[in-house]
Amino acid sequence: MTGAARPPAGGTDVAWVAVTAPSQAMGDLRAAYDAVRGADGQVENLYLAMSATPAAMRAADDHYRAVLHNPDNPLPAWLSELAATWVAILCGCDYAARNHGHNFARHLADADRADRWLAALRDGTWAATLSGPALAVVGFAEKLTLHPDAMARADLDALRAAGLSDRAVSYLVQIVAGFAYWARVINALGIRLNDRIGLSDADLHHLAAPRPAPGA
């Protein structure tokens, strides 16, 4: 997802579960690590902590790329990252909240406004601070994350009224649901935050590039 991890000496520095270092990986795990390596060739702590489930690791990364780093996604990058950050905050996942909050600010390219908006998410004043599509997306993401059983057609109508197309709505749903998954994986495994926060230019270029199919 975001940031690159240094290969650990042991699992205790990465997560609450044992991990297999990339240098020791074989077979499916080695292929999965190769698929998820960052632009610098390293494997992030998030994926190291999933070393017991290489097929799930790769599938989860494929989904992440397909919704958050897909040129077909009509949502502005800053709005996609804002939704991801908000889900992480709601789930109490500091790892994802810090990484994607950084990415949100980077894409928004307005440091003061980004700081105000992130502060509003954290202190609960976002409804009075945000407006337009940002307000609609954050409200929708909160409801879907905390009250999925209460979702109604009217929730989609509110997004459309804020200017989102049905394709944008579909991507938003995937982002919100996907980050609810990631937050639970990260929190349950006790994954340690990487030394570097957020994406670099090289990371963004790397994520946008096609990668070989399994076995290629």
**Per-residue model confidence (pLDDT) at position 39:** 83
> Residue 82 is encoded by which pair of tokens?
């804002």
Give me the residue label for tokens 């996609």.
80
With 80 as the cut, is the pLDDT of residue 85 above it? yes
CB 82 within 8 A of CB 168: no
Percent of the chain residues past pLDDT 90, beyond the cut: 81
> What is the radius of gyration, based on Cα positions, of the chain?
17
Reported pTM: 0.88
- Would you state the pLDDT for residue 10? 46
The CATH class that applies to domain 77-189 reads mainly alpha
> Above 60 in pLDDT, residue 48?
yes
pLDDT for the residue numbered 2: 42
Domain boundaries, the chain: 11-69+192-208, 77-189
pLDDT digit string, tens, across residues 154-205: 999 999 999 999 999 999 999 999 999 999 999 999 999 887 776 656 665 5
For residue 179, give every residue at least 6 positions away whose Cβ sits within 8 Å of its Cβ, in sequence order, or none.
83, 84, 87, 88, 91, 96, 100
DSSP line for 17-51? S----GGG--HHHHHHHHHH--TTS---HHHHTTT
Number of H-type helices and E-type strands within the chain: 11, 0
What percentage of the chain exceeds 70 in pLDDT?
86
